[in-house]
Each structure stands twice: as C-alpha cells, then as structure tokens.
Amino acid sequence: MSAKIAIIAALEHELHPLIKNWPRNKSSHDGRDFTFYEGAYAVAVCSGIGPEPGRRASEAIIAKYSPALLISAGIAGGLTPDLRIGETIFPVTIIDARDSSRHETAIQNTPIGRTPLAKTILVSSPEIAGAEQKQKLGKAYGAHAVDMEGASVARAAEAHGLPFIAIKTISDEVDFELPEMMPFFRDGEFQIARFVLHISIRPRLWLRVFRLARNTKIASENLCAWLRESALTNTIVPGSLADQKP
C-alpha cells in the first residue's frame, strides 16, 4: 500500500480523535515493531517520545508506505505568551537544539503558508522542557514552540527527498511548570503505572497533572481537526500534491 500523506506523532493519545476508527496494521522494520493506522487518505504511526524514536518511526513509515509527504504532528509547549492552550501552528522552520541545525518546511507552498500561523519557528529539544527551559529555548532560538520529534522527522524527510510539514498544537503555555516526567519514559514509551504511583503519594502534583491532562485533550482534539482539514480539503498539502485527490 502507498499513501500520499504519512503522519508521525509521539503518542497515540495525540492522534486518537483522528485514528480511533482506522484499521491497524502491525509490522516490523529494522528489528522493531510498529503499529500503523491506515485511513482512506493517510497513514499514521506513533513513534514514542524523543528524537531517536521519531527517526525510527519516520524511516519505518517511509519504507512501508512510500508516502509523498511527511507530517510531524503532535502537541507542543508554547515559548511565547501569545500562544495559548489549543492554538495550532504550522512552523516554517524547525531548529534541532542538539546541534542548532535548521530545517525548512514546505508550509510556504500551501494556502495556510500565507498566514501568521505559518510564520513560526519550532525548536526540537531532546528533553521535556519545563518553564525555565522553555524561557531559555525561546530566547536562544527565537522560537515560538518546543517539541521533541519534529527535527528528526524533518531529517528523515530530507534524507529521502520528501516534502515535510509540521502541525503542532499547544498543550502547555510558556509559564506552565510540567511535572517531572522524563524518568517515566523508557525507549520512548511512557510508563504510566509508575507515573501514577509516583504522583499518588504527592498531592502537590495532582492539580498540575489534572491541568496537563485537560489541556492535552483540548490540544489533541484541535490538532486532529486540523489534520482532517489538511487531508480532506488539501488546504495544508503543499505544491502539486494539492492537485491530487486524497
């Protein structure tokens, strides 16, 4: 099977409103197992969190489906005060914080590329960014939002000569202090049972975790609404791809 659009997100709940009824296809690539969600117009994979899982999933979905376009989709942290919960951006540039390399997206070749939503910069960090780190990243890179996988997906697209765009929806604002979560990720997967046990004896974290869960749900729903729009009306599909039917 080939697919015009390949969507890579970190975690399944980010894409759940979009892919919940899509058929699943489990397959292996380079010694690792992946679950691909096959829609009528696109295919999606959830990589796990972090740059390396993002790279592996991108290579797997390219090898299996030969897509014409890669989309790095997911939630992101805001780095400017004007970006609020649930707002979606379409970055024109992605910066990899590991080496400061810059990766241009194909969003400028789309109708939405002429709007302020696409005049934004995303920085990809290898670590989950708390409030202090978000302030530093915003100042260091002139970036509007931070994620963890976007630069890796961009690199994979460049290596295969594929157009690439990013669609990111804000789940935590610049001054929101996230609970400590990195110790609960192993090889990109979130160990939810360990995290629940951790917060269960720390009541001071309950409100923050509740707010994050609520805001992540809002961001996920808004993200998937944009993804449906991009595939069904081609408003976010760049260049000559827009002339093809989804």
Q: How far apart are CA 100 and CA 216, in angstroms?
A: 28
DSSP string, 81-104: TT--TT-EE--SEEEETTTTEEEE
Considering its fold, how many domains does the chain have in total?
1
Q: How far apart are CA 167 and CA 42, in angstroms?
A: 15
Q: How far apart are CA 245 and CA 109, in angstroms?
A: 17
Q: What is the CATH number of the domain that holds 28?
A: 3.40.50.1580
Percent of the chain with pLDDT over 70: 91
pLDDT tens digits, residue range 55-67?
999 999 999 999 9
Burial per residue of 155-192, b for 16 or more beta-carbon CB atoms within 10 angstroms, e otherwise: bbbeeeebbbbbbbbbbbbbebebbebeebbeebebee
Token pair for 180 = 């400590």
Q: What is the mean pLDDT of the chain?
A: 89
Token pair for 231 = 């595939």
201 vs 122, higher pLDDT: 122
pTM of the full predicted structure? Answer: 0.89
pLDDT tens digits, residue range 137-154?
999 999 999 999 999 999
Q: By the 8 A CB rule, do 143 and 118 touch?
A: no
Predicted confidence (pLDDT) at residue 234 exceeds the cutoff of 70: no
| Predicted local distance difference test score (pLDDT) of residue 243 | 53
Predicted confidence (pLDDT) at residue 245 exceeds the cutoff of 50: no
| Predicted local distance difference test score (pLDDT) of residue 224 | 95
Show the domain range for 77: 5-243
Kind plus residue range of the DSSP H or E element containing 237: none
Q: By the 8 A CB rule, do 72 and 166 touch?
A: yes
Token pair for 191 = 């160990």
